[in-house]
Amino acid sequence: MKLLDAGSIYKGFEYPKEFLKIVHLGLTDFDFWYLMDYEHAACRIKGLQERYPERKLVPFARRDDNDDIVCFDIDKGGRVQKIHDFASSGWEQRKDYESFWDWFREAIDEMIEEGEYDEI
Of 29, 28, 10, nearest to 76 (Cα)?
10
First to last CA, the chain: 24
Dihedral over Cα of 85, 86, 89, 91: its sign: negative
Phi, psi for 91 (deg, rounded to 5): -115, 5
Q: What would the mean pLDDT of 69-91 be, rounded to a whole number?
A: 95
Burial 17-37 (b: 16+ CB within 10 A, else e): eebeebbeeeeeebbbbebbe
**Residue 10, Cβ neighbours under 10 Å: how many?**
15
**What global pTM score does this model have?**
0.92
Residue 3 identity: L
Q: What would the mean pLDDT of 70-80 be, rounded to a whole number?
A: 94
Distance (Å, rounded) from C-alpha 43 to C-alpha 39? 6
Per-residue pLDDT tens over the stretch 16-48:
999 999 999 999 999 899 999 999 999 999 999
In this prediction, residue 38 carries a pLDDT of: 96
CB 41 within 8 A of CB 60: yes
